[in-house]
Structure 1
Amino acid sequence: MKTSWYKEPWAWLIFTLPAIAIVAGVATYIIANHEPDALVIGDYYKKGKAINLELGKIKQAQKLGIRFNLTLTDDSLVLSPTGIEKEFPLLNVNFHHATLAEKDFSLVLTADGNGDFRQALEQRVSGKWKITITPFENHWKIQDTLHLPRVETIEIVPDTAEAN
């Protein structure tokens, strides 16, 4: 006796598996495009070409003997120059979060009477951060990757291994 195709369990098995795969594929596509990953560095090719320029700035900081001690509390940041060149009119300090670009922020600091650079922080800084320090003229650069918060003072020195 011949039965209808829709009464056969094997027919439903054969039709159900591809249907599930299609639904899963569409769901994956929707999830992946709903909130795409934020790229912390958008154009990797241009960034790669610029590494040699950045290395030159770091080597210039090494040549000048520039170093900083960073003290970071919950609500303030203090940068103390400790190298040969200690007089800077203005510093740009950039904090780049390792994975969340929306947490990135920049500070423009001027020296106080002691030559230290102080800034009150609006947000708590915790996690893995790349900190970049440059003068206003941008002729040298120091950067370091840090896990924050830390209780102790952190020495930031020019290191070509930290270049982008």
Structure 2
Amino acid sequence: MSETVSNYDDEASRPWYRQPWLWFLLLFPGASITYCAVAITLALNTHPSMVVDDYSKEGRGINQSIAREALAAELGLEARIVQNNRNLEVTLDSTGGSAGVAPEYLLLQLFHPTIGGRDRVIQLSAVSPGVYRGQIAGNIDGRWYFDLSGPTKDWRIKGEGRFPADSDIVVRPTNAASG
């Protein structure tokens, strides 16, 4: 019986920082405080790229966007996108018989679905009638939204696709009447 009492006295006589239950009980509040500090730091130092500051201006631009897509549909434009290593080749066809759609260059905007910092604009130069080429800077593997327009930006073709693609990516304007 005296051994049991001496073990208890020995445990009780240890300093507070040597008590195992103290550290066990402090573990959960300490982890909670650490997690909150990290969460607050991340919230203050990162900014949400998917949020638009001036949403009313974005809303007013919808009518202009619809008109641009309607003109592309009226002209019967269709784009065929092919990736060859670091090069993109776009073939622009006009089934509407409009010979006036032959700009010097095209602008292809690539929008990443979730990471705004990966968005990019590629200028495609004409190499022959209806065929345009441009260089890709960086890696574009994965899913992308496309926005193809001419230099005057009076028409626009929107679509989506995945790189690298097994076959050509065909992008057509949406029918503005059904949209």
The answer to whether 1:39 aligns with 2:54 is no
Q: Structure 2 residue aligned with 1:119, among 134, 140, 151? A: 134
CA distance in 1, matches of 2:42, 2:139: 31
- Matching residue of 1:141: 156
* Alpha carbons of structure 1 residues 105 and 20: separation in structure 2 relative to 1, 3 Å: closer
Count how many residue pairs are aligned between Structure 1 and Structure 2: 152
Q: Structure 2 residue aligned with 1:68, among 79, 82, 95? A: 79
- Matching residue of 1:58: 69
- Matching residue of 1:132: 147
For each residue in 1:11-33, what CA deviation from the matched residue of structure 2 results, as whole angstroms up to 9, or x when unmatched? Answer: x96x9876765554333211333
* Alpha carbons of structure 1 residues 18 and 113: separation in structure 2 relative to 1, 3 Å: closer
Give the TM-score taking structure 2 as reference length.
0.70
* Alpha carbons of structure 1 residues 68 and 93: separation in structure 2 relative to 1, 3 Å: same
Task: State the secondary structure of the residue aligned to 2:38.
Answer: helix
Matching residue's letter, 1:90: Y
C-alpha contact 2:81 2:88 (8 A) present in aligned 1: yes
Instruction: Answer with 1 or 2: which has the greater Rg.
Output: 2
CA distance in 1, matches of 2:69, 2:59: 16
Task: State the secondary structure of the residue aligned to 2:128.
Answer: coil
* Alpha carbons of structure 1 residues 160 and 37: separation in structure 2 relative to 1, 3 Å: farther
For each residue in 1:66-109, what CA deviation from the matched residue of structure 2 results, as whole angstroms up to 9, or x when unmatched? Answer: 11111112221111012233522221111111222222221222
Unaligned runs of 5+ in 2: 1-15
The answer to whether 1:110 aligns with 2:120 is no
Pick which of 38-47 and 95-104 moved more. 38-47
Task: State the secondary structure of the residue aligned to 2:91.
Answer: strand
The answer to whether 1:155 aligns with 2:170 is yes
Give the TM-score taking structure 1 as reference length.
0.75
* Alpha carbons of structure 1 residues 16 and 93: separation in structure 2 relative to 1, 3 Å: closer
- Matching residue of 2:38: 27
Q: Which of the pair has the greater relative contact order for Cα pairs under 8 Å at 6+ separation?
A: 1
